[in-house]
C-alpha cells in the first residue's frame, strides 16, 4: 500500500502545483479536489492523513491493482480457493487478465475453474440439503438464504415420504389434512375450540366435494352415530376407494387441496356438531365420530354420496343415540354417585357424630379412670415420700445424735487433755520450785566452801608471812652477827622458798648483787675503819690538778700534811669538807647519806674512793632488800587480817 | 713508809685496792729512780776511771742522767693514769 501511495504521490506530486498547494492549505482544501492535498501529504510528511484523503487513496489504489502484479497474484491464488466468494472476485479478474496472456491456457483454465466451481457448488448444495434434513436451524437458514434450497429440501422430503409409504401417494396428497385431523383429535380435550373456530370447519367443508353434504352431515351424523357396525364396513370400503383413487391421486391431490376445503365443509360440520356437544369427552364416541368422518370423507372422495347418505345418516343417528345413552348413563351414574356421596356423607356424619360421642364418652371415662389412677398414684407417691421423709428424719436424728455424742466425746477428751496439762504444769512448777531451793542450798554450800577455803588461805598466808618474818629476821641476824663478813646464801634460799610466789620478794632478792650474798657484806665498823684509810689517801691527792705530774703530786702530798682538818658538818664542795661530812654521817650511822656525799667527789679522789663506795652500796642494797621483804611480809599479814 | 705498806698487805692477795693506787705508783717511781741513778753512777765511775783519770764529775753526771730518766718515766706514768681516770669518768 505504501508503495502504491508513494508512486501515485510521485506521479501526481511531480507537478509544481504541489508545493503551492501545500502552502495554500485552505485554498487547496476548498477549491481543488482532495487528491492534490493527498498527494502533497503523501509526499511530505504524514502518511496517516484525514479520513477524506484515505477514501481518495482507496479510490486510487485500484488502478495499480489492475496492473500485472495483481494478475500474477490472482493466478496463484485461484487454485487453492474453491469457496464461492473468491470465484466472484476472480471471475472479474480473469476476464481482464486473460487477454494479455495466452488465450488457449486461459480458456482451459477458465473452463476448469468453472467446472470445479460447479462441481463444488453442486456438492455444497447437496451437502446443505442433506444437512438441512438433519439440523433444523440449518434447515431454516438454508431454505431462507439459498436460492432453490427450499424446493430442493421439500422435494427430497417428499421422495423420502414416498419411499416410506409407497401405498400412500394419495394419502400423501392429503397428508397435510390428515396430519391436521390427527392433530385436532389429539387436542380433543379442546374440541370446543375447533367448534368455535370457523376456519378448520371451513377447510373441511372446502375439502368435502359437495355443498349439499354440508347440510347432510348435521342431520345424517346422528344416524351414523347410531350405526356402530357401519363404520367398520366403511373402513373396509374406504380401503377400496384408496386403491381406486391412488392412480388419480397425484393429479387430484394438488387440485383437491382447494376442493377439499369446500367439500368436507358439509359433512364434517355435522360430525363436529356430534363431537362438540355432550359426547366429545367420551373417548368411544370420539373414536366413532372419527371413523364416521373418515368414512364420510372417503365417500365424499368417491363421490358416492347418494349411495351411503342414508346409511351414514343412520350411523350418525346411532352415534347420536349412543352419545345420548352414554350421556344418560353418565347422568345416572352421576346421580347415583351424588346420592351415594350424600348417603355416604350422611353416614359419615352420623358415624363421625357417633365417633365423637364415643370418643367423648371414652375420654370422660378415661379421665375419670385417670383421675382415680392419678389419685391412687398420688397417694402411693405421698406414702412413699412420707416414708422416705420419715426415714430421712430418723437418719438425720441418728446423725445428729451421733454428732452430739461425738462432740461430747471430743469435749471430754479436750477436758481431759486440759486437766492433764494443768496437772503436768503444776507438778513441773512445784518441781522447779523445789529444784530452785536445792540450787540455792547448793549455792550456799559452795559459798561456805569458798569461805572455808578463804580461811584456809588466810591461815596459810599467815603461816607464810610468819615464816617470812622469821626468814628476814634470820638474814638480818646473820648480817649483823660477828665481826667478819659472812656469806648468807642459806638464809636467802630459805627466804625465797618461803615466799614461793611472791613477786616482790623475788624482785628484792634479784636486786641483791650475787657477790654480796656469796662473800657477805662488810659491817658498819669495818666500813668506818676503811673509810678512815681512804680519807687519808684522798686528802693526799686532794690538791692535785687535772693533768698532774710528779711535782704536783709531791707538792700535794707535802701540803696535805700541812692543811687543817675540819670537824662536824662542814659546808663547801672541796674534798676536805666532803670527807669531814661523810665521816660525821658515818659516825651517826647514816650510811646512805655518807655514800651520797662520797659520790660527789671528782678526779683522783673519786678513783681512790671507788672500792669503798661499792662496798657501801652493797651493804645498802642488802639492807634495802631486806626492808622491802619485811614490808611485804608485814603487808601480807595486814592483808590477811 | 709504814703507812704505805700496811694497806698493801691485805690487797696483796687480790688486785690492789683503789685507795692504794697512788702509793703503788710512788713506790715504782722511787724504785725506778734508785735503779737508774745507780746505773748512771756506775757508768760514770767506769768512764771516770777509764777515760778521765779518776775524776769525780763523770760519776755524778751519770747518776744525774739516771735520776732524770726515772723522773721522766714517773711523770709520764702519773699523767697517763690521770688521763685514764678522766676517760671513764667522762
Higher pLDDT, A529 or A116: A116
Partner-chain residue, chosen from B3, B26, B89, that has the shortest CB–CB distance to A606: B89
- Average pLDDT of the residues in A385-391: 94
Asked if the C-beta of A101 comes within 8 angstroms of chain B's C-beta atoms, the answer is: no
pLDDT at A318 over 60: yes
- Average pLDDT of the residues in B58-76: 90
User: A195 with A252: CB under 8 angstroms?
Assistant: no
Asked if the C-beta of B85 comes within 8 angstroms of chain A's C-beta atoms, the answer is: yes
pLDDT at A481 over 60: yes
pLDDT band at A428; cut points 50, 70, 90:
very high
Q: What is the pLDDT of residue A177?
A: 46
Least confident of A136-140, A317-321, A369-373, B48-52: A317-321
Residue bearing cell 693514769: B81
Asked if the C-beta of A601 comes within 8 angstroms of chain B's C-beta atoms, the answer is: no
CA nearest to A608 within chain B:
B19
Binding-face residues of A in 145-184 toward B, CB within 8 A: none
What is the DSSP track for B56-74?
SHHHHHHHHHHHHHHHHHH
B79/A549 Cβ within 8 A: yes
pLDDT at A427 over 90: yes
Tally of structural domains, chain B:
1
A103: helix, strand or coil: helix
- Average pLDDT of the residues in A453-457: 86
Of A200-214, A401-415, A528-542, which has the strongest mean pLDDT?
A401-415
Interface probe, candidates A485, A515, A526, A549, chain B, greatest B C-beta count within 10 A: A549
Asked if the C-beta of A199 comes within 8 angstroms of chain B's C-beta atoms, the answer is: no
Contacts with B29 from chain A: Cβ below 8 Å: 550
**Is B9 inside any structural domain?**
no
Domain of B56, in residue numbers: 18-83
Sign of CA dihedral A214, A220, A222, A227: negative
Measured CA to CA, the distance from residue A270 to residue A272 in angstroms comes to 5
What is the DSSP track for A558-627?
HHHHHSPPP-SS--SSSHHHHHHHHHHHHHHT-HHHHHHHHHT--HHHHHHTHHHHHHHHHHHHHHHHHH
B26/A537 Cβ within 8 A: no
| Residues β-bridged to residue A317 | A223
**Is A297 inside any structural domain?**
yes
How many residues would you count in chain B? 90
pLDDT at A534 over 90: no
CA nearest to A605 within chain B:
B19
Contacts with A539 from chain B: Cβ below 8 Å: none
**Is A112 inside any structural domain?**
no
A261: helix, strand or coil: strand
**Is A628 inside any structural domain?**
yes
CA nearest to B26 within chain A:
A550
Residue bearing cell 469435749: A411
Contacts with A541 from chain B: Cβ below 8 Å: 22
Partner-chain residue, chosen from A536, A602, A609, that has the shortest CB–CB distance to B18: A609
- E-strand stretches of A11-138: none
Tally of structural domains, chain A:
3
A548/B82 Cβ within 8 A: yes
Distances A9 to A15, A73, A381, A608 between C-alpha atoms, Å? 10, 24, 123, 174
Same domain flag for A142 and A288: no
Measured CA to CA, the distance from residue A50 to residue A72 in angstroms comes to 33
pLDDT band at A186; cut points 50, 70, 90:
low
Asked if the C-beta of A573 comes within 8 angstroms of chain B's C-beta atoms, the answer is: no
pLDDT at A635 over 50: yes
**Is B56 inside any structural domain?**
yes
Which DSSP state fits B19?
Answer: G
Higher pLDDT, A357 or A67: A357
Binding-face residues of A in 315-354 toward B, CB within 8 A: none
**Is A182 inside any structural domain?**
no
Q: Considering only CA atoms, which of A628, A251, A249 is closest in space to residue A476?
A: A628
**Is B62 inside any structural domain?**
yes
Min CA distance, B79 vs chain A (Å)? 6
Measured CA to CA, the distance from residue A425 to residue A432 in angstroms comes to 10
Q: What is the pLDDT of residue A188?
A: 52
Q: What is the pLDDT of residue B14?
A: 53
Higher pLDDT, B52 or A217: B52
pLDDT at A35 over 70: no
What's phi and psi for A214, nearest 5 deg? Answer: -60, -40
Asked if the C-beta of B74 comes within 8 angstroms of chain A's C-beta atoms, the answer is: yes
Of A178-182, A324-328, A434-438, A470-474, which has the strongest mean pLDDT?
A434-438
What is the DSSP track for A132-154?
HHH-HHHHHHHHHHSTTHHHHHH
**Is A218 inside any structural domain?**
no
Min CA distance, A514 vs chain B (Å)? 19
Average pLDDT, chain B: 78
Q: What is the pLDDT of residue A431?
A: 92
Least confident of A481-495, A592-606, B25-39, B61-75: A481-495
Residues contacting residue A117 through CB under 8 Å, at least 6 positions apart = A82, A84, A87
Residue bearing cell 363404520: A231
Last residue of a domain, one of A140, A164, A188: A164
CA nearest to A532 within chain B:
B19
Higher pLDDT, B22 or A359: A359
Higher pLDDT, A255 or A454: A454
Same domain flag for A493 and A620: yes
Measured CA to CA, the distance from residue A343 to residue B34 in angstroms comes to 218
Contacts with B83 from chain A: Cβ below 8 Å: 547
Distances A282 to A274, A278, A289, A293 between C-alpha atoms, Å? 11, 8, 11, 16
Interface probe, candidates A519, A537, A616, chain B, greatest B C-beta count within 10 A: A537
pLDDT at A379 over 90: yes
Domain of A135, in residue numbers: 120-164
Min CA distance, A563 vs chain B (Å)? 19
Measured CA to CA, the distance from residue A357 to residue A375 in angstroms comes to 26
**Is A73 inside any structural domain?**
no
pLDDT at A584 over 60: yes
Dump pLDDT digits (tens) for A281-311. 677 777 888 888 888 888 888 777 777 778 8
A550/B71 Cβ within 8 A: yes
Least confident of A401-405, A410-414, A583-587: A583-587
Dump pLDDT digits (tens) for A39-62. 554 545 545 544 444 444 444 444
Higher pLDDT, A296 or A279: A296
pLDDT band at A232; cut points 50, 70, 90:
very low
Residues contacting residue A388 through CB under 8 Å, at least 6 positions apart = none
Of A192-201, A437-446, A540-549, which has the strongest mean pLDDT?
A437-446
pLDDT at A142 over 90: no
| Residues β-bridged to residue A207 | A261
pLDDT band at A64; cut points 50, 70, 90:
very low
Sign of CA dihedral A98, A101, A104, A109: negative
Binding-face residues of A in 543-562 toward B, CB within 8 A: 544, 546-551, 553
Instruction: Pick left, alpha or beta for residue A167 (phi over 0 → left; psi -120 to 50 → alpha; otherwise beta).
Output: alpha
Asked if the C-beta of B1 comes within 8 angstroms of chain A's C-beta atoms, the answer is: no
Higher pLDDT, B27 or A32: B27
Min CA distance, B21 vs chain A (Å)? 7
pLDDT at A9 over 60: no
Partner-chain residue, chosen from B7, B22, B79, that has the shortest CB–CB distance to A541: B22
Average pLDDT, chain A: 72
**How many CB pairs below 8 A link A and B?**
56
Higher pLDDT, A240 or A403: A403
Residue/partner pairs of A485-490 with CB below 8 Å, 24 or more apart: A485/A519, A485/A520, A485/A521, A485/A522, A485/A523, A485/A526, A486/A520, A487/A517, A487/A518, A487/A519, A487/A520, A488/A517, A488/A520, A489/A517, A489/A518
Least confident of A205-209, A384-388, A435-439, A440-444: A205-209
A550/B86 Cβ within 8 A: no
**Is A58 inside any structural domain?**
no
Measured CA to CA, the distance from residue A365 to residue A437 in angstroms comes to 105
Asked if the C-beta of B29 comes within 8 angstroms of chain A's C-beta atoms, the answer is: yes
Last residue of a domain, one of A143, A164, A185: A164
User: A203 with A262: CB under 8 angstroms?
Assistant: no
Q: Read off the pTM.
A: 0.37
Distances A612 to A151, B4, B17 between C-alpha atoms, Å? 198, 18, 9
Q: What is the pLDDT of residue A640?
A: 67
Q: What is the pLDDT of residue A111?
A: 92
Q: What is the pLDDT of residue A259?
A: 40
Last residue of a domain, one of A338, A369, A387: A338
pLDDT at A258 over 50: no
Asked if the C-beta of A538 comes within 8 angstroms of chain B's C-beta atoms, the answer is: yes
**Is B10 inside any structural domain?**
no
The cell for A617 is 652500796
Asked if the C-beta of A41 comes within 8 angstroms of chain B's C-beta atoms, the answer is: no
User: A547 with B79: CB under 8 angstroms?
Assistant: yes
**Is A111 inside any structural domain?**
no
Contacts with A549 from chain B: Cβ below 8 Å: 75, 78-79
Q: What is the pLDDT of residue A103?
A: 58
**Is B54 inside any structural domain?**
yes
- Average pLDDT of the residues in A564-575: 77
A548/B20 Cβ within 8 A: no
Q: Around A630, how many Cα atoms within 13 Å sit in the side-chain half-sphere? A: 12
**Is B49 inside any structural domain?**
yes
The cell for B33 is 729512780
A371: helix, strand or coil: helix
pLDDT at A556 over 70: yes
CA nearest to B74 within chain A:
A550
pLDDT band at A574; cut points 50, 70, 90:
confident
**Is B57 inside any structural domain?**
yes
Measured CA to CA, the distance from residue B52 to residue A245 in angstroms comes to 247
Amino acid at each position: 500500500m505504501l508503495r502504491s501511495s508513494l508512486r501515485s504521490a510521485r506521479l501526481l506530486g511531480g507537478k509544481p502545483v504541489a508545493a503551492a498547494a501545500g502552502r495554500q492549505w485552505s485554498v487547496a482544501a476548498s477549491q481543488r479536489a482532495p487528491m492534490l492535498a493527498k498527494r502533497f501529504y503523501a509526499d511530505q510528511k504524514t502518511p496517516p492523513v484525514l479520513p477524506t484523503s484515505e477514501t481518495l487513496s482507496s479510490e486510487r489504489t485500484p488502478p495499480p491493482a489492475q496492473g500485472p502484479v495483481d494478475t500474477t497474484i490472482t493466478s496463484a491464488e485461484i487454485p487453492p480457493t474453491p469457496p464461492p466468494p473468491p470465484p466472484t472476485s476472480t471471475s472479474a479478474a480473469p476476464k481482464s487478465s486473460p487477454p494479455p496472456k495466452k488465450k488457449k491456457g486461459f480458456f482451459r483454465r477458465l473452463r476448469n475453474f468453472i467446472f470445479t466451481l460447479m462441481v463444488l457448488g453442486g456438492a455444497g448444495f447437496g451437502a446443505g440439503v442433506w444437512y438441512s434434513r438433519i439440523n433444523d436451524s440449518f434447515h431454516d437458514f438454508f431454505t431462507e438464504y439459498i436460492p432453490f434450497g427450499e424446493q430442493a429440501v421439500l422435494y427430497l422430503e417428499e421422495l423420502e415420504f414416498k419411499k416410506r409409504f409407497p401405498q400412500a401417494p394419495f394419502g400423501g396428497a392429503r397428508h397435510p389434512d390428515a396430519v391436521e385431523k390427527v392433530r385436532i383429535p389429539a387436542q380433543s380435550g379442546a374440541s370446543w375450540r375447533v367448534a368455535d373456530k370457523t376456519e378448520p370447519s371451513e377447510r373441511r367443508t372446502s375439502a368435502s366435494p359437495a355443498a349439499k353434504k354440508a347440510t347432510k352431515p348435521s342431520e345424517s351424523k346422528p344416524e351414523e352415530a347410531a350405526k356402530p357396525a357401519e363404520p367398520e364396513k366403511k373402513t373396509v370400503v374406504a380401503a377400496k376407494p384408496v386403491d381406486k383413487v391412488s392412480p388419480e391421486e397425484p393429479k387430484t391431490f394438488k387440485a383437491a387441496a382447494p376442493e377439499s376445503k369446500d367439500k368436507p365443509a358439509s359433512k364434517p360440520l355435522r360430525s363436529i356438531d356430534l363431537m362438540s356437544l355432550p359426547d366429545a369427552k367420551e373417548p368411544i364416541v370420539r373414536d366413532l365420530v372419527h371413523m364416521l368422518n373418515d368414512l364420510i370423507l372417503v365417500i365424499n372422495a368417491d363421490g358416492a354420496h347418494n349411495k351411503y347418505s342414508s346409511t351414514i345418516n343412520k350411523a350418525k343417528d346411532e352415534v347420536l343415540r349412543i352419545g345420548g345413552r352414554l350421556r344418560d348413563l353418565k347422568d345416572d351414574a352421576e346421580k347415583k354417585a351424588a346420592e351415594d356421596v350424600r348417603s355416604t356423607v350422611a353416614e359419615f356424619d352420623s358415624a363421625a357424630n357417633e365417633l365423637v360421642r364415643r370418643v367423648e364418652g371414652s375420654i370422660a371415662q378415661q379421665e375419670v379412670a385417670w383421675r382415680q389412677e392419678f389419685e391412687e398414684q398420688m397417694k402411693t407417691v405421698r406414702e412413699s415420700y412420707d416414708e422416705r421423709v420419715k426415714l430421712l428424719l430418723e437418719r438425720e436424728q441418728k446423725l445428729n445424735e451421733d454428732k452430739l455424742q461425738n462432740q461430747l466425746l471430743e469435749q471430754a477428751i479436750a477436758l481431759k487433755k486440759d486437766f492433764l496439762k494443768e496437772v503436768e504444769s503444776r507438778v513441773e512448777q512445784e518441781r522447779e520450785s523445789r529444784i530452785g531451793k536445792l540450787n540455792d542450798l547448793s549455792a550456799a554450800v559452795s559459798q561456805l566452801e569458798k569461805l572455808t577455803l578463804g580461811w584456809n588461805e588466810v591461815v596459810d598466808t599467815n603461816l607464810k608471812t610468819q615464816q617470812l618474818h622469821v626468814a628476814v629476821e634470820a638474814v638480818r641476824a646473820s648480817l649483823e652477827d660477828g665481826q667478819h663478813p659472812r656469806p648468807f646464801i642459806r638464809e636467802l634460799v630459805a627466804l625465797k622458798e618461803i615466799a614461793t610466789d611472791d613477786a616482790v620478794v623475788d624482785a628484792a632478792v634479784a636486786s641483791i648483787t650475787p657477790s654480796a650474798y656469796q662473800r657477805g657484806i662488810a659491817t658498819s665498823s669495818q666500813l668506818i675503819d676503811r673509810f678512815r684509810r681512804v680519807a687519808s689517801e684522798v686528802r693526799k691527792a686532794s690538791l692535785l690538778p687535772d693533768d698532774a705530774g710528779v711535782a704536783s703530786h709531791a707538792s700535794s702530798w707535802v701540803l696535805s700534811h700541812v692543811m687543817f682538818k675540819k670537824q662536824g658538818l662542814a659546808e663547801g664542795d672541796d674534798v676536805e669538807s666532803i670527807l669531814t661530812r661523810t665521816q660525821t654521817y658515818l659516825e651517826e650511822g647514816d650510811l646512805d647519806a655518807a655514800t651520797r656525799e662520797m659520790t660527789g667527789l671528782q678526779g683522783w679522789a673519786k678513783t681512790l674512793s671507788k672500792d669503798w663506795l661499792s662496798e657501801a652500796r652493797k651493804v645498802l642494797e642488802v639492807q634495802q632488800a631486806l626492808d622491802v621483804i619485811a614490808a611485804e611480809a608485814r603487808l601480807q599479814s595486814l592483808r590477811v587480817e | 713508809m709504814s703507812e704505805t705498806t700496811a694497806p698493801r698487805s691485805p690487797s696483796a692477795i687480790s688486785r690492789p685496792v683503789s685507795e692504794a693506787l697512788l702509793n703503788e705508783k710512788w713506790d715504782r717511781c722511787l724504785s725506778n729512780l734508785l735503779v737508774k741513778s745507780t746505773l748512771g753512777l756506775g757508768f760514770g765511775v767506769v768512764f771516770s776511771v777509764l777515760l778521765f783519770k779518776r775524776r769525780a764529775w763523770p760519776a755524778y753526771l751519770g747518776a744525774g742522767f739516771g735520776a732524770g730518766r726515772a723522773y721522766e718515766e714517773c711523770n709520764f706514768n702519773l699523767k697517763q693514769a690521770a688521763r685514764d681516770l678522766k676517760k671513764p669518768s667522762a
